[in-house]
A and B are shown apart, each in its own frame.
Chain A
Amino acid sequence: MRIGLYVSGAAHLALILWALLGGIFFTPEPAAAPIATNVSLMSSAEFAELEGRKPTAAEESPPQPSAPEASVAPPAKPKPETKPEQQPAPDVTPPEPEQPPEVEETQVAEAEVTDAPPEETTAPTPDSLSQIPDQPTEKPQPKAAEIVAPNPSPDTPPETTTSDTVTEATTAEPAPEATPEPPTEEAAPKDTGEVLLTEDNKDKKPETAAPATSPRPQKKPEKKPEEPKPAPVETAEATPEAPADEPSVNADDAVAAALGEALSGEASEEPKPGTGAADQGPPLTSGEKDALIVAVKQCWNVGSLSTDALSTIVTVSVSMGQDGKPDSGSIRMIGVEGGTDASAQQAFEAGRRAIIRCAKNGYALPPEKYEQWKEIEITFDPNKMRLR
């Protein structure tokens, strides 16, 4: 009887030793493969036995493959990526010294130019007044934020500080319209400079107040939409009258007349149906219009205009590119009110300079509404400026 025990004990011992020490000699290859196969076999066997239990096992198994995906492989990659980035970085620095010599060469060619650039920075100060509209929209905001932040944090209790911050916040909020801020800065010093000469002019400073925007809405409804209306009426009346008055109409005339009617009919229907407007996008908001007005007016310099030109209202049309820049060659005068031909020309040239000067970086117009501002008509009315 005990022989069986010894045999079984020896067998078990051999099995244990095999399990413990056998891997030393044979482990690597069989160990990895069987483990993978075992996993697959386990899921299929359990799937055959119990249908309800397998999802839990299945859920546990997917995370393992998913884990290696997120397993830090990406994090490990960025590390090597950063390393190569650092390596090219030193490569970048050498090219920099290479560029300066190139610039120096150009500067050497024009020795005087090297002195000019630093002075340009001083000269642009007047320029910056005109260029401010585009860039300053961002500058005022960070400035306001920097000022507001330190103020409230130390002085949370006092209300007076909040009042200060409120005033600053109001100036900062119109950031989209913050472009007017630079002009006001321009107008103020310029007006004061101009008014210095006459003591009475000191009282006229309030004229620079902002209510200039109020009259603009009045010109939105042009009379042109009314013109197309009579057009279809004429066509309706023309058909009965045409045979009565002039029955002898040749084919060419008829085609021309029909084409005219068709074109007029098209023109009359354009403003009415919503399809065209839908293709052209919604009309510009008053804020978008005001932003354009502000951008143009700060380059509209009437300081060198004659007294006659200051009494001349000119309307200028300009075709715009999708980048918000005007086509300089398209700028033309389409209307004049008051003044002589010479004064109208002076007024037109001042308007043209304004349109071009302030469009160095393109006007801030919504690209999705390009069809609405592809063509712009600007009326320059200097009457208010004349009285300053």
Chain B
Amino acid sequence: MRLSGGLKGMMSAALLGAVCWAAPATAEPLRITIEDGVIEPLPFAAPTFIDEGGAGDIARAMTDVIAADLQGTGLFAQIPAGAFISQVTSFDAPVSYADWKAINAQALIVGAVSNSGGRINVKFNLHDVFSDTTLGDGLQFGGGEGDWRRIAHKVADQIYSRITGEGPYFDSRVVFVSESGPKDARQKQLAIMDYDGANVQYLTDASAIVLAPRFSAAGDRILYTSFETGFPRIKLMDLATLQSRAIADLQGNMTFAPRFSPDGDTVVFSLENGGNTDLYAMSLSSGQTTQLTNAPSIETAPSFSPDGSQIAFESDRSGNQQIYIMPVSGGEPVRVSSGEGRYSTPVWSPRGDLVAFTKQNGGRFHIGVMRTDGSEERLLTASYLDEGPTWAPNGRVIMFTRESPGAAGSAQLYSVDISGRALRQVPTVGAASDPAWSPLLP
């Protein structure tokens, strides 16, 4: 059946009239743009996890660890239990969101712990209070009774990631140099601990000075510099056995500042030969050594990019210390730091987007970050002496050494968010320096 254009027009006119009669005119939506907001910690409530059998103390301790993890990021603020209007008495009980809204709890963590024969089982739900719903599905973790802290860190990691969108990092460890004794006769030994300072274990004794430990990408080995023989030499330690051996023993030259490649097979380091220091790479599988730089200046502190294709390092070839980047396969280094002062100890972010560094300018030290092309430099700290940044596994937090002035001064570990917020001291027994953050534990 065919319809002429005129008839079609008449029909459209008739329908137009009908539609206009039936449906009142609707306005376009009001459009606004919000460009300013607030930057404040997100308030959360973490009622003590419910004991579902034999886990009374552990349930309380795990709740505390989870809350401390979140609050320590500076991105969250815990609401004290005294402010709670309603109590969580059962894991499966419906949540009275109105009661939590009333105290402005934007996130609510409800969990339960059971301990059966030394095996802990933890389950939790994260509630988005103002949306009246859960944020993601509930999860549960299980493990030995002695691993309750790790399990708590894993729960906190999940909560942190769900709310912020960042990768987890609480379930990780830090190897560092534990210091003791007076400042002019300091004894140093390697130690390893949870990222929050708990569970400290010493890896070496205090018989020889050790420096600059570095984790492998898998977290199973560490490189460090030892002065056992009186001059610096690189050593490799297996964390499972705590056995260590010297590597890169090249004709008795000093070797230091080692770092693993992402695949764990190559070690880049500095070698001093005849008063000149250059970068070298050595394959752990074949033992083959390659010289990466050849300049009369001092090149040191190499750090691989996450994809293993480039190396950032510091060099004074321009007259003072600056940061350069060069391809692993060789090529002319490109200077990326351009500000005033000296730049040193570049460390590539696990994400690959930023390089952390130590900057000395105007008599003060800073920990800062910049893009890999040198842009958007931001100084996160400022003090008498800050140095040696290391990245958290998620590339959001940096740990470093801060040393206080004076004869009674000592070194301590600090962490800071890359936004410059949440600067806090990492609790350690005595003085500590040279932290290296492990990858996320499996």
Q: Interface residues, chain A, CB within 8 Å of chain B?
A: 110, 112-113, 115-117, 119-120, 122-124, 126-127, 130, 183, 186-187, 190-191, 194-201, 208, 212, 215-216, 219-220, 222, 224, 235, 239-240, 242-243, 247-251, 254-255, 257-259, 261-263, 265-266, 270-271, 275-277, 279-280, 284, 289, 292-293, 296-309, 317, 328, 342-343, 345-346, 349, 351-354, 356-357, 371-385, 388
Give the distance to chain A from B47, nearest Cβ to Cβ, in Å.
12
Contact check, A123 vs B165: say whether CB atoms are below 8 A apart.
no
Give the distance to chain A from B40, nearest Cβ to Cβ, in Å.
5
Given A126-B104, A249-B3, A257-B8, is A276 in contact with B25 using a C-beta cutoff of 8 Å? yes
Give the distance to chain A from B423, nearest Cβ to Cβ, in Å.
4
Known: A242-B5, A297-B36, A356-B131. 12 other contacts (CB 8 A): A126-B77, A199-B382, A200-B382, A254-B11, A262-B12, A270-B25, A284-B30, A306-B164, A307-B418, A346-B164, A357-B104, A385-B35
Contact check, A305 vs B164: say whether CB atoms are below 8 A apart.
yes
Give the distance to chain A from B367, nearest Cβ to Cβ, in Å.
10
> A373 contacts which of B30, B132, B166 (Cβ < 8 Å)?
B30
Of the candidate stretches B16-24, B234-242, B289-297, the one touching chain A is B16-24
Q: Kindly state whether residue B426 has any CB partner on chain A within 8 Å.
A: no
A375–B243 Cα gap in the complex (Å)? 67
A121–B25 Cα gap in the complex (Å)? 47
Interface centre among B34, B39, B42, B132 (most CB of A within 10 A): B34
Main secondary structure of the interface of B (DSSP, over half): loop
User: Across the two chains, which residue of chain B brings its CB closest to A357?
Assistant: B130
Contact check, A293 vs B34: say whether CB atoms are below 8 A apart.
yes
Chain A residues near B106 (CB, 8 Å)? 353, 357
A354–B130 Cα gap in the complex (Å)? 9
Q: Kindly state whether residue B84 has any CB partner on chain A within 8 Å.
A: yes
Q: Kindly state whether residue B103 has any CB partner on chain A within 8 Å.
A: yes
Contact check, A201 vs B11: say whether CB atoms are below 8 A apart.
no
Q: Interface residues, chain B, CB within 8 Å of chain A?
A: 1-5, 7-9, 11-13, 15-16, 18-20, 23-43, 75-77, 79-80, 82-87, 102-104, 106, 128, 130-132, 135, 163-166, 378-382, 396, 416, 418-423
Contact check, A279 vs B24: say whether CB atoms are below 8 A apart.
yes
A308–B381 Cα gap in the complex (Å)? 22
Chain A residues near B130 (CB, 8 Å)? 352-353, 356-357
Chain A residues near B164 (CB, 8 Å)? 304-306, 309, 346
Given A266-B16, A372-B27, is A120 in contact with B85 using a C-beta cutoff of 8 Å? yes
Contact check, B35 vs A381: say whether CB atoms are below 8 A apart.
yes
Chain A residues near B15 (CB, 8 Å)? 258-259, 261-262
Contact check, B79 vs A385: say whether CB atoms are below 8 A apart.
no
Contact check, B82 vs A309: say whether CB atoms are below 8 A apart.
no
A238–B136 Cα gap in the complex (Å)? 51
> A279 contacts which of B25, B79, B132 (Cβ < 8 Å)?
B25
Contact check, A242 vs B8: say whether CB atoms are below 8 A apart.
yes
Question: Can you name 19 A-B residue pairings with CB atoms under 8 Å?
Answer: A119-B80, A194-B420, A212-B36, A216-B32, A251-B3, A262-B15, A275-B25, A277-B27, A300-B34, A300-B37, A343-B165, A353-B106, A353-B128, A357-B106, A372-B30, A375-B29, A381-B34, A381-B35, A385-B37
Contact check, B39 vs A381: say whether CB atoms are below 8 A apart.
no
Contact check, A258 vs B32: say whether CB atoms are below 8 A apart.
no
User: Across the two chains, which residue of chain A brings its CB closest to B5?
Assistant: A239
Contact check, A127 vs B34: say whether CB atoms are below 8 A apart.
no
Contact check, B12 vs A194: say whether CB atoms are below 8 A apart.
no
Give the distance to chain B from A47, nearest Cβ to Cβ, in Å.
64
